[in-house]
Chains A and B, each alone.
Chain A
Amino acid sequence: MSESKPIIEFKDVTFWYGQNETEPALKNINLTIHEGDYVALLGLNGAGKTTLQLCINGVVPNNILGNFEGQVIVDGKDTLETPVREMAKIVGMVFDNPEFQLSQMSVGEEIALGMESLGYSYEEMVETIDEVLDIVGLQGLTERSPFGLSGGQQQRLSIASALAMRPKILVMDEPTSNVDPIGKEEIFQVAYELNRKRNMTVIMAEHEVEVMAQYANLVVVMHEGEIVLQGTPEEVFSNVDLLKSLGLRMPQVAAFGNELEKLGIMTLNGHYPVKLSQAVETYGRLFEKKAG
């Protein structure tokens, strides 16, 4: 992560939705995201996750007007000076409600929508549609109605629609919150593969901490418009008391370590395992001791 170059930089960003709002939705945000990062955005409802994500493609403040201070640089472009349609070629967005992002009669037309706006040739569109459907695992559904798909499929279609413009960054705002468990799994899998196999930068707001601890290399915790913690999952989830006071959950394996520590069974000095594989290794030591 440290070798790759920064792709998103928030510099002292503060944003108020209305001129009359006293409390800003974003407060002094400084954040650097590198190419190929998988970023987990955590925080309660209203913490500012969506607002922060909308800054990445410039919808805030170009389309959603408000009082904006600071600067967001994405892939070398200042979002204040770049039209959102230009940003669409760099940043793909997926939102929480799958149905609310769809409007077309067929899956093919849904994916083509952005490409049509950018003047892609017919041949290019057909080729791209096949390619992105393949990536999200919806091969052969080109002629189907988007509204006849399951929630998980719809959300993967939204991903495919974003991918059609070949972005480097995929921003996902609680993409699994309206999807059944199987659909959730499929969406996480697609995001994971895009990140690992295609080096796509993924920024995901998500409440499933276990999954985020598994996949993300950077965890950003927001509270009332501010970034209160950022670092690797291991670093962030060592702050048990702070997270608790913010009302946020820990990955269960980390919470387990914290409990063991309180009971005096194990001393971890805050180095809680956050992934299942780490937990097996760490807690396995307990049993080795007993056996030995």
Chain B
Amino acid sequence: MQGVVIPISMVPGDSIIHRINPLPKLAWAFGVLVISFATRNPLILSTLFVVGVILILVAQVGNAYLKVAMILFPISLTLIVLQSIAPAFPKPWTPIVSVGPFTIFQEGIYSGISMLLRIFAMTTWAMLMIMTSHPSDIFTSLQKIGMPYVLNFILTMTLQLLPILQNEFAVVLNAQKSRAMKGSGFGAILPSMVPVFVGAIERVQQLSISLESRAFGSSGHKTSYRRVRMTFWDILLIVLGIVFTAGMTYWIIVDKSLDWSETMVFHPAFAIGLVVFATLGFLAFVVIALRNVLQA
């Protein structure tokens, strides 16, 4: 099972970025998300993406990031394929070239490229936040600004439970194998879900009794063992993040010349090349992924 699940979690380290409070990181990741949805401009999106990658390198979490990117990239390639023949744009579309029954449109290539960049800009900044902050610190900081304690707990527990359930799933699969049942392939997955699911219910029941026995869920004042420092610089970063997001969004809305969908013209050869590359890239990924799943 190991190969199938992508571990997205903190990569311990001592970089400047690791030392920043989770809230400013969250504010910037959220800001980039807002901006990415506000614009399709490839230059803005790729700038956000490149800056994100530079920060990933500064944080020295490049390896973990690459693992995620290598899965995300081929999946996002489908966007280029789909968009090029059916752009998410108001008609009329401008055809570039026809290949058999398919027509590739100018707006489609533009839209595909900007969606790909948008996904990468957003996820790079989100990864930066997740990979450089301890989950407990993220939840504790969120709790400080008003997230309910119980939600903090639910998030923490879910994060803890996922790898355990994944592990139990693998155990059940192996047990089925040893009893000469199907132990690999999709046919084995459904029957193994049942014991894992039943086990999860039992676990949650037992956990809830254990938690109640430890005064969990009391009403009244609660304190936090986890302490997250918030310095002047952290606050400044949050303010800058908000100003940057607001400023960029305003600019994007006001300046109509940022819409390059008419001006950025693609050569037919480039368009065909891109679609073919995207199709092959995605298919190769699917084949490799299926082989991994079936062998696991």
Contact = CB atoms under 8 A, between A and B. Distances in A.
Contacts of A106: 136
A159 to B, nearest CB: 12
A165 B223 CA distance: 14
Contacts of A114: 214-216
A97 interface: yes
B225 A122 contact: yes
Contacts of A120: 223
A119 B159 CA distance: 24
A91 B26 CA distance: 41
B212 A125 contact: no
Contacts of B156: 103-105
A109 B220 CA distance: 19
B226 interface: yes
Interface in A92-150: 92-93, 95, 97, 99-106, 108-109, 112-122, 125-126, 129, 147
Nearest to A64: B209
Contacts of A103: 153, 156-157, 160, 207, 211
Indicate the size class of the contact surface on chain A: 35 or more
Contacts of A83: 218
A115 B223 contact: yes
A122 B223 contact: yes
Interface of A: 54, 57, 59, 63-64, 83-85, 88-89, 91-93, 95, 97, 99-106, 108-109, 112-122, 125-126, 129, 147, 158, 161-162, 165
Given A57-B213, A105-B135, A100 B202 contact: yes
Contact of B214 (A88, A108, A125, A147): A88
Q: Is the interface of B mostly helix, strand, loop or mixed?
A: helix
Contacts of A162: 213-214
B215 A165 contact: yes
B256 interface: no
A105 B159 CA distance: 9
Contacts of B218: 83, 85, 117-118
Interface of B: 134-136, 149, 153, 156-157, 159-160, 163-164, 202-203, 206-207, 209-218, 220-227
* Most A C-beta atoms less than 10 A away, residue of B136, B214, B216, B218: B214
B215 A101 contact: no
A59 B205 CA distance: 13
A57 B163 CA distance: 32
Contact of A54 (B163, B209, B217, B222): B209
Given A95-B209, A103-B153, A147-B164, A89 B215 contact: yes
Contacts of B203: 97, 99-100
B289 to A, nearest CB: 28
A174 to B, nearest CB: 12
Contacts of B214: 88, 93, 113-114, 117, 161-162, 165
Given A95-B206, A100-B203, A103-B207, 19 more contacts: A59-B213, A63-B209, A84-B213, A88-B214, A88-B215, A92-B213, A95-B210, A102-B160, A105-B159, A109-B226, A112-B226, A114-B216, A116-B224, A117-B217, A119-B223, A125-B225, A129-B225, A147-B160, A147-B163
Contact of A99 (B134, B164, B223): B164
B138 to A, nearest CB: 11
Q: Which 3 A-B pairs have the closest CB atoms?
A: A112-B225, A114-B214, A88-B215
